[in-house]
Homo-oligomer: A and B are copies of this chain.
Amino acid sequence: MRIPLNKKSREPLYRQIHQFLRDEIRCKALPADFRLPSSRTLSAGLGVSRITVMNAYAELESEGLVHIQPGSGTYVAPPAAYHSLPAEDGLDVHDWPIWQQELLSRTWLPARREMERLLASTVHPDPISFAGDLVAENLFPADEFRKTINAVLRRDGQQAFGYGNRAGFAPLRETIAHILAGQGIPTSPDHVLITSGSQQALSLVAQVLVQAGGSVLVESPTYIGAIDLFRSLNVRLMGVPVDEEGMRIEAVEEALKRNKPRLIYTIPAFHNPTGVCMAADRRRRLINLASRYNVPILEDDCFGDLRYDGRALPALKALDPNGCVIYVNTFSKMLMPGLRVGYLVASGPLYDRLLSCKYTCDLATSNLIQRALEAYISVGRYQAHLRRACGAYRKRRDAMVAALDAHMPEGVRWRVPKGGLCLWLRLPDGVSAIDLLPEASEEGVVYAPGSFYFPAERPESFMRLNFAPHTPERTEEGIRRLARALERYLSRRKAEEEPQRLHMGVTV
């Protein structure tokens, strides 16, 4: 199948493919029950990635134009299936105002939503998901927190429902400054800004410090929400490889020499997605480089307190004599994400700008939730929960590692993370985590394909496994399913390659 693609167009490739096929189906050039080429075949033929083709097919399916039958193929739907579907609002695309149509040409799909769409198309009645959010709902101290909210509302009453202090509830900022001081990060409540989760903290810093067209230095791979955030601001991402000691510092220096970024974004503790910790000497060297090249560091410490082995290293912020580090953290991972409370620590003119930016973005973070959180920490419940959670997470990590040891075929590699909530797995050479996904889904397990975590080139041989949400038993079962899928995949591939190899033997 030949689809004319304009690779220089601002129209994403998946949308070009989708539009071409949609028109072909609507004018019946592709008849009902026609089997579209497999995503592998079409992607090879067009010279695009398989995700691109899969996204185009998912789009067609969401419009009722095709049926995707996992393990069998993608078929053009009979006309009735889509003609009966009303267009959105009862309007066709061409009835939209022109400014809406103009948006179409600038459409951009965040990597996270691209991944979620891909995962949604892998159908199984009850899959074990290692792909979801890095949280363990079944460990949330919901009832304790309910009691705390009650106590706070009995104490503060109507006050708890006003806008409150724009920088955040003052006692909560004091409590946070106190916690940070205990970790070797001296600060004052006046330098703490409460945000709606760490994502908002990253967003505020990016809005204030990075202009469109500028660049940011990030780990490669890195947190998908940071990639999407910087992309949304039209920022160029400069990826620095990560090894077992974190960001490769000589690569940082090379990048700083080549091109002056506006910001260095790093997750030094239990890096997401790889789980590694930046070594102590690299931390010092990174800070020196940042000072020398006059680039601020944005330190994302959202997994910092989830340590199961070894001793804590000082945060970058604790090593920072000149105020070049902006520190970001959240209660989403350590406690519960539905609170939507995080914070940042900054000083000088930057703090004032961030406060103004927070105000124009959403005025303030929920006063009630901030008060409840402060009370929850002050009576010591937070610390007790953290100890309990770390104990549970350690067991869940160990269960995953044991299951991997027991079941994974040769050639699969991983490193045991000393903290955090995920494990980074490398498949045998030449195996794509995207290609493996339909097979895994059929076995009843899904994971996050690693390619989405890379800022630029997207190597496909990695996957991120989230060990937080499941009991050891369920994790063991999930890994068993994953191993089965991989073995099936490998043996099928071998079978496919066999005739080819014979054939090659003949021609030599």
Contacts and interface: CB of A to CB of B under 8 A. Distances in A.
A300 to B, nearest CB: 14
A389 to B, nearest CB: 13
Nearest to A370: B338
A102 B61 CA distance: 51
A247 B489 CA distance: 66
A291 B97 contact: yes
B348 A232 contact: no
B142 A229 contact: no
B146 A103 contact: no
B96 A368 contact: no
Give the one of A95, A137, A296 with max B CB within 10 A. A137
B349 A107 contact: yes
Interface in A153-211: 153-154, 157-164, 191, 195-197, 199-200, 203, 208-209
Contact of A142 (B91, B101, B113, B153): B153
A91 B167 CA distance: 22
B95 A322 contact: yes
A500 interface: no
Contact of A353 (B107, B200, B324, B360): B107
A360 B232 contact: yes
Contacts of A352: 107
A98 interface: yes
B153 A225 contact: no
Nearest to A106: B353
Contacts of A361: 199-200, 203, 361
A14 to B, nearest CB: 14
A133 interface: yes
B199 A363 contact: yes
Contacts of A96: 322-323, 348-349
Nearest to A359: B110
A255 to B, nearest CB: 17
Nearest to A349: B103
Interface in A217-271: 225, 228-229, 232
A103 B350 contact: yes
Interface in A84-137: 88-89, 91, 95-101, 103-104, 107-110, 112-113, 133, 135, 137
Given A100-B350, A338-B367, A368-B369, A146 B149 contact: yes
B157 A113 contact: no
Contacts of A153: 142-143, 145-146, 149
A337 interface: yes
A452 to B, nearest CB: 14
B364 A340 contact: yes
A228 B161 CA distance: 24
Contacts of A158: 137-138, 140, 142
A162 B146 contact: no
Contact of A296 (B99, B108, B109): B99
Interface string A9-48: 0000000000000000000000000000000000000000
A304 to B, nearest CB: 19
A353 B360 CA distance: 19
Contacts of A108: 353, 356
B162 A362 contact: no
A433 interface: no
A95 B12 CA distance: 47
A295 B99 contact: yes
A294 interface: yes
Contacts of A338: 160-164, 366-368
Given A196-B340, A340-B364, 17 more contacts: A89-B323, A95-B322, A97-B323, A98-B294, A100-B348, A103-B208, A103-B349, A107-B349, A133-B163, A142-B157, A149-B149, A196-B196, A199-B362, A200-B362, A232-B357, A361-B361, A362-B362
15 contacts: A100-B348, A100-B350, A103-B208, A103-B350, A108-B353, A140-B161, A142-B153, A142-B158, A145-B161, A164-B338, A196-B362, A199-B360, A225-B360, A225-B363, A338-B366
Pairs A-B, 7 closest by C-beta atoms? A338-B367, A161-B338, A161-B336, A200-B362, A140-B158, A196-B362, A146-B153
